[in-house]
Amino acid sequence: MTKMTKLPKTHDGDLVDLAFSLSPPPSLLGFLDSSIHYSPPLPPSPFPLPFLSLSPPPFRLETLAAGRCRCTTNTFIMADAKKPAVLIIGGLGFIGRHLALHIHENNLASEVRIVDKVLPQLAWLAPEFEEACSKDKFVQADACREQHLPRIFDRANGEQFDYVINCGGETRHSQPDDVYEARSCNLTIALAKECAKRGIPAFVECSTAHVYKSGSSPRKEGDKMQPWHKLAKWKLKAAEGLLKIPELQYCALRLPHVYGAYNPGYFAMAICLARVHKEMEQDLEFLYTKDVKVNTLHVKDAASALWMAAEWRAKKGKLDRNNGSMPAVFKDPAMPIAFNVVDHNDTCQQHVAQAMAEVFDLKVSFLGSLASQLAKMNLDDVVDDMNEVSLQEWADLVAKSKIERPGPIGPFLELDVLKAQDMSIDGSLFESTVGWKPKYEHFDADSVREMVESYKRMNWWP
């Protein structure tokens, strides 16, 4: 005879230990009243009678592992069947690949599809991403092209994705307007319309915090907009376009400077520039003052925030902006559902300078307001001269180190990022609304070391 233990008193979400003489048990139906609907259907129970005579039972048992269940409410649902199916656009980009890794490492999804224009073999993927971004999960497509949308969205089982997270779009600076319009704005709108048409519960847009007018205090979601550059201008236009799509269940995250292992952007430039100055035995000089804000977010925190945003948005369903649970700033129908996400460091140039000085044993200084104003008068020529020197020195370092396949990093300075403006945002609304917190609260020397070590592992670092 099969032996089993009586269920202890439980609360919603409690874990319950079950002892069976069969391993694994063919069914848990013997514990439950037969009048309840089970999804998916379970095989017949070997047990002669229900152990609990509740009709209907005020709980469900969610199998987590052999002999372990989670008590929740009403319906019996297998754990894997409950997990969402996720579509990541731009899934081989810096943030997209880390999002895929976050989902993979935490076993969060029943299915993941990664879409990118670039093949994995050409995407500079580190070994730790091989499983998360494996061939069976990848679809090469350009979401800007309408004819590619069925290939991107259609699933073999005929069902729809639960979450669509857009990490795509043009990330290079100093491109013509039509490039950003097509690859950022139009991309977002096309994806959003497809999500609305298919009734997808959550569309999450990865955006930028460079849309705000700079100010002395951290910018909040309802503050005045004044995009810093063309990339930000078209991201803002995309956010405004989302408001015009009926039945779209979306939210956007506005991110500051994102850093972390394999970063190819803003911090890669700064770190490579520090390496060049170390080789040249010159001080590293920053434009402007030490107090200029350059707020930060670790890429792993960006990934977890995107995931929690998708969970929150799917749970909310169709939004009632007048609902008491909605943040006050979003009650205005002209306000996009867009949250700021940032660490707790309130990073400024002083933090970055101290980190570089410690890691590279460099003397770091700031030009200050007056010298910077003079430099700004002829900034194009100043940047061109700096790039000419630093790029040649970097090329010599790479050649000297016999690096055969230089990676996507270098000391090239972009005019768009050299602004005498504060990148300072307040992320408290997202934290209080969604319940997310950053794991990497501070940017420091260890943050720089993590990036340098990742470049070394890929043989990008001279």
DSSP assignment of 282-312 equals --EEESB-TT-BB-EEEHHHHHHHHHHHHHH
341: Cβ–Cβ under 8 A, 6 or more apart, which residues?
253, 254, 255, 297, 301, 302, 305, 427, 430, 436
Q: Could you write out the DSSP letters of every residue in 215-236?
A: -SS-B-TTSPB--SSHHHHHHH
Within 173-295, residue ranges assigned H as helices are 177-180, 186-198, 230-242, 266-280
* Vertex 142 angle, CA 138 and 148, to 5°: 90
Q: φ, ψ for residue 403 (rounded to 5)?
A: -85, 110
What gap in Å lies between CA 446 and CA 413, rounded to an integer? 23
Q: What is the largest CA-CA distance in the chain?
A: 89
Contact 253, 334 (CB under 8 A): no
**Residues whose CB falls within 8 Å of the CB of residue 197, separated by 6 or more in sequence, listed in order:** none
Distance of CA 439 to the CA centre of its chain: 14
Domains (range + CATH), the chain: 1-79 (no CATH), 83-259+297-343+426-437 (3.40.50.720)
Q: State the CB neighbour count (10 A cutoff) for residue 313.
A: 20
- Spell out the residues 6+ positions from residue 39 whose beta carbon is closer than 8 angstroms to its own: 75, 76, 77, 81
Classify 240 as helix, strand or coil.
helix
Q: Backbone phi, then psi, for 412, in 5-degree steps?
A: -65, 125
Amino acid at 274: A
Q: What are phi and psi of 196, to 5 degrees?
A: -65, -45
**If you search the block for the tokens 């001080």, which residue do you land on?**
283
Output DSSP code: residue 93: S
| CA 217 centroid distance within chain | 25
Q: Distance from first CA to last CA of the chain, Å, rounded?
A: 69
Name beta bridge partners: 225.
212
CA distance 328 to 337: 11
Token pair recorded at residue 325: 């649970």
Structure tokens at 330: 């979003």
> Which residue in 95, 441, 94 sits closest to 297, CA to CA?
441
Could you tell me the sign of the dihedral formed by the alpha carbons of 181, 185, 190, 193, in that order? negative
Phi-psi region of 116 (alpha: psi -120 to 50; beta: other; left: phi over 0): beta
The torsion angles phi and psi of 425, rounded to 5 degrees, stand at -130, 155
- Burial (Cβ within 10 Å: 0-12, 13-18, ≥19) of residue 80: exposed
Closest CA to 429 of 349, 348, 337, 366: 337
pLDDT along the chain (462 residues), means of 10: 40 40 36 36 38 35 41 42 93 98 98 97 96 97 94 97 97 92 95 98 98 93 96 96 96 98 97 97 91 97 99 92 82 94 97 98 86 71 90 97 94 88 96 98 98 98 97
Residue 331 structure tokens? 């009650």
Residue 359 tokens, joined: 């890691």
Residue 441, pLDDT score: 97
- Residue closest to 10 by CA, chosen among 47, 54, 66: 54
